[in-house]
Amino acid sequence: MSLIEARGICKTFNGRSGEHIPAVDQLSLAIEDEEFVVIVGPSGCGKSTFLQMVGGLERPTSGTLRIEGQPIDGPDSRCGIVFQEYLLFPWKTVQGNIAFGPSLRGLSKGEITSLCTHYIELVGLQNFASSYPHELSGGMKQRVAIARALANQPRVLLMDEPFGALDALTRESMQWELLRIWEDARCTVVFVTHSITEAVLLADRVIVMSKRPGRIKKDIAIGLPRPRTRQLSASAEFLKYESMLKQLVWEEV
């Protein structure tokens, strides 16, 4: 049994004038435990919609979607979500933001503190535990958002263009950071991006979606060794994946 199984998923939205907007069409996909799956495709092809259905924030119009064999019927603590907008609580410190989920789960104070300490260290924010979001850079805010999601110890981390709002240099450093964090946290990641380079660097598998209504156009295993290195990211093999994927996405634009 796969960790996540989507079979024949369709999602149609109702537009403002009552028109039907088919966003996702007959999407079938199996994602295994601890896989790092990246979804790419042209703007509006239904990537975020698929992620939201996995996270239980949207329901498929038809088809079945299961996690650990059980139908997804609403937001589920097995899934943590990180969005492009950091969505931190501005009135809470870094520690307070990260402690929020564990405190809702009714953990003891000691357990919450040790979870917070672990994840604050994991994302490298030891010196900022008492800072408020407005005192942090974009990259630091996204580290908090990642730590906050991981502190709930999800089986699946859903990431929707998490580095899309960052400058190029910070974005690249966050990609390496995420790989390091993922090696430690060892959860399954489903990651949406527009950056093909980011996709090749991070993924075990890249799913290329067709233009709307999104179907799976190609499912490509990235056969690059881990841990990924800077040297590898400049290799001929890396560039080969990059140009193949660019071609596949461009055909849909």
Ligand X SMILES: Nc1ncnc2c1ncn2[C@@H]1O[C@H](COP(=O)(O)OP(=O)(O)OP(=O)(O)O)[C@@H](O)[C@H]1O
Nearer to ligand X, 49 or 195 (CB): 49
Please give the residue ranges that form the binding site for ligand X (CB under 6 A): 13, 15, 21, 23, 41, 43-49, 212
Count the neighbouring beta carbons within 10 Å of the beta carbon of residue 10.
Answer: 17
Shortest Å, Cβ 218 to ligand X: 16
Shortest Å, Cβ 210 to ligand X: 11
Q: Provide the β-strand partners of residue 82.
A: 159
Nearer to ligand X, 43 or 173 (CB): 43
Shortest Å, Cβ 48 to ligand X: 3
**What is the rounded distance in angstroms from the CA atom of residue 113 to the CA atom of residue 160?**
28
Q: Which amino acid is at 116?
A: C
Shortest Å, Cβ 117 to ligand X: 35
State how far the alpha carbon of 54 is from the alpha carbons of 67, 95, 142, 195, 221, in Å: 8, 28, 21, 21, 21
Shortest Å, Cβ 186 to ligand X: 27
Nearer to ligand X, 120 or 208 (CB): 208
Nearer to ligand X, 46 or 133 (CB): 46
Nearer to ligand X, 44 or 138 (CB): 44
Shortest Å, Cβ 135 to ligand X: 29
Give 214's DSSP letter.
B
Closest CA to 187 of 57, 76, 28, 32: 32
Burial bucket for residue 76 (CB in 10 Å: 0-12, 13-18, 19+): middle
Nearer to ligand X, 151 or 249 (CB): 249
**What is the rounded distance in angstroms from the CA atom of residue 144 to the CA atom of residue 155?**
18
Q: Do 126 and 48 contact (CB within 8 A), yes or no?
A: no
Contacts of 19 (CB under 8 A, 6+ apart): none
